[in-house]
């Protein structure tokens, strides 16, 4: 592997390397590291803040439950409650009197604790009537969720569960405890304390926690959640079935108390919410980074451009010296290193130019004069050969053929003389379509004389197109190719048809033959030759026509060749006539 030396690198590229390693990469790395460190710090702080918020939610719920448990414990140990619910009453009036005398203020705790909405007593004593928060344990109660999930287990401590609300959903949190402290009791008694729905909602709707909060029971089922997409009120849903966002942070707070043992509060914080504040600052970071890029970049580009331009100017002038171009570098003689180099180069160029003018120019001029003299002598000798001599010889042969009654030979010689005169004495670039057709007819007559009955041709020239000017010898190369390369190899009679007509402001010429056609490779070679600067071979005539049309009309003409091997060839030419008809091209 070739080792790259620092001195082999262009100064502009060196400046780009300085910019890359001194400006671009440090700024990019600094901003990336700053963003990552800031994001991690913010994420850590957010997690800590949300842990505190979640702990506050868990403690508040625990406090609300403990308030209800405390009231249940007080009533559990109250002898008046047992007496009220166990006594057999002679009439409802007796129960009402006993209730008013001993336990009318059963809901006196409700105003004291905001977490408690109401207190209910249940008994299967048939002499107790439903009134003032006292209810009978009937079949409907025994079928309820709170009764089956608590009392049937016969737990000796309060149980937290959910009861059906007025709308039928299991959204009402209750604390239930069996009143069974008395061994002499003959009736089943239950106390149920309903927690305040508003208290529960405000408790979990903690605005400082950035995510969803889930209250899970000992079976990991959802008892409450702030996630509105989870229908926790209508059924018990396992937390494991909930879709947790990718890269989300999950926090937990457990309860070690007996009545909500193994319950826990879980907080789910999506990564987007944790980094929302950081991502809000991304535009500011990008603007700052862009500003840090733009100013140094503009300054470095300006300095690099100045150095590169001045050095490049010196290099160009030095390369011109080898072609004997000693043009001086314009501008003020600046005092930096490049300015000193420019001044010394100008001094050197001027001195070399003076030396060459003094020593070599005279010799070169002398040799050029000798060459010009020889060329003049050669042209003088060539001019002595008059092309008209050839025409006179052909005319003599033609007249001799007429005297010998060889009319066909005389006509062929006349046609050949016409073709020769047109090719040698090319005095104008444009001819009329009629003149071009006359030249084509002369050529075809010669070919017909050569091939005898093997070749036939037809020419159609509309009267409107006769006087339209077209580039000289534009069509005849296609006639020549059709005759020599298309008809000559045929073993049968060949036909060449040419048609010239007008179409609006365009001249349309179509030349077709029934010759052998062209192979695809030959066709591609001819089409590709239009794009080449030089070409040799059989298609040089077509190439010459295409280049002349390109020079006269640019892209305002159309030349198409359709051919297939064994099926003949058709040439389609379309050129504008407005330029020529105006007589502006000679």
Q: Has residue 532 got a pLDDT over 80?
A: no
What CATH number corresponds to the domain at position 515? 3.30.565.10
Q: Is residue 321 part of a domain?
A: no
Q: Is residue 308 part of a domain?
A: no
Q: Is residue 382 part of a domain?
A: no
C-beta atoms surrounding 552 within 10 Å:
19
Return the residue matching tokens 């007008």.
Answer: 502
Confidence band for 165, pLDDT divided at 50, 70 and 90:
low
pLDDT tens profile 269-295: 887 766 666 667 677 777 777 777 778
Confidence band for 389, pLDDT divided at 50, 70 and 90:
very low
Q: Is residue 517 part of a domain?
A: yes
Residue 580: per-residue pLDDT: 43
459 against 344, higher pLDDT: 459
Residue 465: per-residue pLDDT: 92
- Sign of the C-alpha dihedral, residues 40, 254, 202, 270? positive
C-beta atoms surrounding 349 within 10 Å:
19
pLDDT tens profile 367-387: 764 565 455 444 443 444 445
State the Cα–Cα distance between residues 287 and 292, nearest whole angstrom: 9
Which of 464, 458, 406, 470 has the alpha carbon at shortest distance from 433? 470
Cα separations in angstroms, 373 against 107, 361, 376, 380, 397: 138, 18, 5, 11, 39
Residue 29: per-residue pLDDT: 84
Q: CB–CB of 161/194 below 8 Å?
A: no
Residue 119: per-residue pLDDT: 85
> Which of 250, 280, 310 is where one domain is finished?
280
pLDDT tens profile 26-55: 878 887 887 778 777 777 777 788 788 888
Confidence band for 240, pLDDT divided at 50, 70 and 90:
confident
7 against 228, higher pLDDT: 228
Q: CB–CB of 395/418 below 8 Å?
A: no
How confident is the model over 571-576, as a mean pLDDT? 94
User: N- to C-terminal Cα distance for the chain?
Assistant: 63
> Which of 247, 280, 313 is where one domain is finished?
280
Average pLDDT, the chain: 77
Q: Is residue 430 part of a domain?
A: no
> Which of 228, 246, 280 is where one domain is finished?
280
Residue 460: per-residue pLDDT: 93
pLDDT tens profile 422-457: 655 556 778 899 988 988 888 888 777 777 778 888
Q: Is residue 300 part of a domain?
A: no
Q: Which residues lie across from 511 on neighbouring strands?
A: 498, 571
Q: Is residue 339 part of a domain?
A: no
**Domain span including residue 574:** 448-581
Q: Is residue 385 part of a domain?
A: no
Residue 509: per-residue pLDDT: 95
Question: Which of 49-53, 89-93, 465-469 tops mean pLDDT?
Answer: 465-469
78 against 109, higher pLDDT: 78
Q: Which pTM was predicted?
A: 0.45
State the Cα–Cα distance between residues 142 and 160, nearest whole angstrom: 17
Number of domains in the chain: 2
């Amino acid at each position: 592997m070739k080792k790259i030396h620092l001195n082999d690198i262009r100064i502009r590229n060196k400046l780009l390397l300085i910019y890359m390693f001194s400006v671009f990469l440090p700024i990019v790395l600094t901003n990336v590291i700053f963003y990552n460190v800031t994001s991690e710090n913010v994420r850590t702080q957010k997690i800590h803040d949300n842990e505190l918020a979640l702990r506050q939610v868990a403690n508040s719920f625990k406090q609300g439950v403990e308030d209800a448990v405390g009231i249940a414990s007080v009533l559990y140990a109250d002898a008046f409650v047992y007496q009220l619910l166990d006594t057999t009453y002679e009439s409802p009036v007796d129960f009402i009197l006993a209730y008013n005398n001993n336990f009318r203020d059963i809901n006196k705790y409700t105003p004291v604790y905001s977490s408690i909405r109401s207190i209910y007593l249940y008994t299967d004593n048939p002499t107790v009537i439903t009134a003032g928060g006292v209810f009978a344990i009937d079949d409907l109660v025994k079928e309820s969720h709170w009764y089956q999930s608590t009392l049937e287990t016969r737990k000796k401590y309060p149980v937290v569960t959910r009861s059906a609300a007025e709308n039928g959903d299991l959204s009402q949190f209750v604390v239930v405890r069996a009143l069974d402290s008395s061994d002499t009791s003959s009736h089943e008694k239950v106390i149920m304390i309903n927690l305040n729905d508003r208290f529960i909602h405000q408790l979990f709707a903690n605005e400082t926690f950035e995510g969803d909060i889930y209250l899970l029971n000992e079976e990991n089922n959802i008892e409450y959640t702030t996630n509105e997409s989870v229908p926790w009120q209508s059924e018990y849903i396992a937390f494991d079935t909930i879709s947790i966002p990718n890269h989300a942070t999950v926090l937990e707070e457990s309860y070690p108390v007996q009545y909500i043992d193994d319950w826990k509060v879980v907080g789910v914080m999506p990564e987007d919410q944790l980094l929302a504040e950081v991502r809000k600052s991304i535009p500011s970071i990008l603007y700052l980074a862009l500003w840090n890029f733009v100013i140094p970049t503009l300054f470095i580009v300006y300095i690099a451009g100045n150095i590169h331009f001045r050095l490049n100017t010196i290099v160009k002038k030095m390369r011109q010296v080898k072609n004997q171009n000693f043009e001086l570098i314009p501008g003020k003689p600046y005092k930096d290193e490049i300015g000193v180099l420019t001044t010394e180069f100008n001094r050197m160029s001027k001195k070399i130019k003076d030396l060459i003018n003094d020593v070599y120019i005279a010799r070169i001029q002398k040799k050029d004069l000798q060459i010009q003299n020889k060329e003049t002598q050669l042209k003088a000798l060539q001019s002595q050969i008059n092309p008209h001599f050839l025409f006179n010889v052909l005319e003599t042969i033609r007249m001799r053929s007429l005297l010998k009654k060889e009319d066909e030979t005389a006509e062929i010689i006349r046609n050949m003389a016409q073709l020769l005169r047109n090719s040698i004495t090319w005095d104008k670039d444009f001819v009329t379509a009629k003149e071009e057709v006359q030249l084509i007819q002369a050529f075809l007559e010669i070919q017909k004389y050569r091939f005898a009955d093997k070749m036939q041709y037809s020419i159609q020239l509309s009267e409107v197109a006769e006087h339209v000017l077209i580039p000289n010898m534009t069509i005849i190369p296609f006639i020549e190719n059709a005759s020599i390369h298309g008809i000559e190899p045929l073993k049968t009679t060949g036909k060449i048809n040419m048609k010239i007509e007008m179409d609006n402001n365009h001249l349309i010429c179509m030349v077709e033959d029934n010759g052998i056609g062209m192979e695809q490779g030959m066709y591609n070679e001819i089409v590709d030759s239009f794009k080449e600067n030089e070409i040799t071979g059989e298609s040089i005539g077509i190439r010459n026509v295409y280049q002349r049309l390109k020079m006269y009309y640019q892209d305002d003409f159309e030349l198409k060749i359709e051919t297939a091997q064994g099926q003949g060839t058709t040439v389609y030419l379309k050129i504008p006539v407005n330029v020529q008809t105006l007589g502006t091209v000679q």
